[in-house]
Amino acid sequence: MGAPGAEFAARFGAPATHGARAPGRVNLIGEHVDYEGYAVLPMAVALETWVCVRRAPAGAEAGVLVVANADGAQYPEVELPADPGARVDRERHSWANYFQAGYKGVFEHLRREGRPAPEPYGLQVMVRGRVPAGSGLSSSSALVVASAAAVAAVHGLEFSRQEIAEFTRVCEQHVGTMSGGMDQAISVMGEQGLAKLIEFGPVRASDVILPPGCAFVIANSLTVSKKAETAAGRYNLRVLECRLAAVLLAIALGTPPEEAAASVQVLKDVEAALGAAGKRVGDLLHDAPYSLVEVEGLLGASIEAVAGADFLPSVRAAAEFGGFKLRQRAEHVYSEAQRVLRFRDLCNSSASSSAASGETLAALGKMMDESHASCSVQYECSSPELEELTGLARELGALGARLTGAGWGGCMVALVKEGDVGPYIQALKDRFFQKRVASGELDASDLDSVVFATGPCPGASWGRMTTAGALES
C-alpha cells in the first residue's frame, strides 16, 4: 500500500503535488533511556505512514489546513488554521494533532535557526498510515515526521535528515508527551539492512550490523497503549521520576540543591560523578517510594519550580500511585544504557562471520530478556498481555523477548533463529492469537499483521509527487 494518491484526488479534485513517507520502528534494545540522554538501538520497519499535500487553491480553503485520512471512518477529517503559531489542543486527542505538531515544527525550526520562513499557505492533506496506532511501533512519530517532511517539501524548504530528526523530536512534544527522540531519528535515519545506534545531543546514527542467522519477530499484545491520553500517569511521570532521581543523586553526592536543580537535567548528567564517588544508585536512593513532601524537602524547592508546570499532572498522578519510585527508575536507566552498548558491540563483533555462533545469539537474547525484566519490574511499564506474550515467546523457543517502545501495551520483539521463524510464528498464532480470534477480539484476516518477522528498512523519503501518485526519484 503506497501513497493515498487516489484518495487525495477523490477528496480534493486534483492530484497531490508533494508527499512524504516515514516508517515506524521497532526498538531492539534501550527502552526509556533516550530522554535520559542515552543511546538506543532501533531499526525502521516496513510499516509506514504517507502524507500527501497540495497548496490550497485561492478561496475558502486558502487559510486552513484540511487534513483528511484515507481511513476516514476511524480518523475523521479535521480543519486546522494555517497558522504555525496556533496551539495544539492537547485536551482534544485528535489524530490530526500529530500533523499539526509536524506542521508547527517546520516553522519553529526556521525561527530558532533565524532562517527566513515562507508565508504559510493553506494546505490540502491526505494521510494514510499502516503503522498500527498505540502498538509501540511509533505510529505517532511516523506521522509527525511524514507531516513535517511533506510540509517542508510543499513550501520548497530543504532540510537535512539530522535537522528533521532534531526538530520533530521537539515538535512532537506539542502533543503532550515529553518524547525522547528515538522514534523520529530512526524514522528519518533508518537504512535498509541496518539497525542503528542512535545517540543524542546532537542526534546521530551509526550502523549496527545484525548477526547473520537471526530474525526479529514482532507480535502485538493487542492492548493499545494510548500514550498521549495516559501521559500524566505513565510516560511523563517516568520522565519526571528520572529528573527527580538525577537531581537527588547529585544532591546526595554533595552538590548544593539549588545548583543541582539548575545543572542536572537527566540521569546521564550524574553518571560520571556517581562513578567517581564509587557509589551505586542503591547507596544513595532508598527503596521505598518518595513522597512529595520528602522530595520537596530534599530539593529545598517545589517540584514545579525544579521541573516546570508541565509536570503538575504527573505530580498529582504520583500521589495517587503512592509516591515516586526514584531508585527503581534510575537503576533501570543505568542498567539499560549499558545493555545497549554491549548489544551493539556483540552485534558488530559477530558481523564478519558468515553465521553468528549459538553463543552470540544466546547472549543477545539474554540481554533482551534482562531488558524486559528491568522494564517490567523496575520501570513498571509492562502489561499482563505483554507478560503473557513474552513468556510464551520464550517458551516457544525465542532466544530472548521484550516489550518494545513505551510499553503498557503494544508490541513485543523476539529474537529467533532464522530457520525457526515460520514454525515459531505459527506456534505464537496457535497459542496467543487463536483464542483472541475465537473470542472476537481479533479478526482472522488480521493475523499476519499482528505477528510477523521483519528486517531493517529504509528511513523516510519526501519530495514532489508524480501524477501517478509516487514520489519523484
Of the candidates 118, 31, 42, 79, the residue with the CA atom closest to the CA atom of residue 403 = 31
CB 62 within 8 A of CB 121: yes
Q: Contacts with ligand NG1: how many residues (CB under 6 A)? A: 19
CA distances from 273 to 146, 148, 276, 330 (A): 40, 39, 5, 14
CB 320 within 8 A of CB 284: no
Q: Least distance in Å: CB of 51 to ligand NG1? A: 17
- Among 183, 269, 369, 443, the active-site one is 183
Which of residues 140 and 378 has its CB atom nearest to ligand NG1 in the complex?
140
Q: Per CB under 6 A, which region of 3-11, 101-109, 175-183, 450-458 contacts ligand NG1?
A: 175-183
Q: Which residue is nearest to ligand NG1 (CB)?
A: 405
CA distance 339 to 341: 5
Residue type, 268: K
- Which residue shows C-alpha cell 510477523? 452
Contact call for residue 31 and ligand NG1 (CB under 6 A) = yes
Q: Which of 4, 19, 23, 136 binds ligand NG1 (CB under 6 A)?
A: 136
Q: Which of 35, 167, 324, 379 binds ligand NG1 (CB under 6 A)?
A: 35
Of the candidates 267, 231, 225, the residue with the CA atom closest to the CA atom of residue 403 = 225
Q: Least distance in Å: CB of 55 to ligand NG1? A: 29
Q: Which of 101, 125, 182, 261 binds ligand NG1 (CB under 6 A)?
A: 182
Contact call for residue 179 and ligand NG1 (CB under 6 A) = yes
Q: Which of 11, 32, 109, 130 binds ligand NG1 (CB under 6 A)?
A: 32
Which of residues 405 and 469 has its CB atom nearest to ligand NG1 in the complex?
405
| 310 catalytic per annotation | no
CB 323 within 8 A of CB 264: no
Of the candidates 472, 469, 392, 377, the residue with the CA atom closest to the CA atom of residue 436 = 392
Contact call for residue 374 and ligand NG1 (CB under 6 A) = no
Q: Which of 49, 94, 100, 177 binds ligand NG1 (CB under 6 A)?
A: 177
- Contact letters (x/-) for ligand NG1, 43-72, by CB under 6 A? ------------------------------
| Residues of span 198-257 touching ligand NG1 by CB under 6 A | 227
Cite the active site residues: 183
Which positions lie near ligand NG1, rule CB under 6 A?
A: 27, 31-32, 34-35, 136, 138, 140-141, 172, 177, 179-183, 227, 405-406
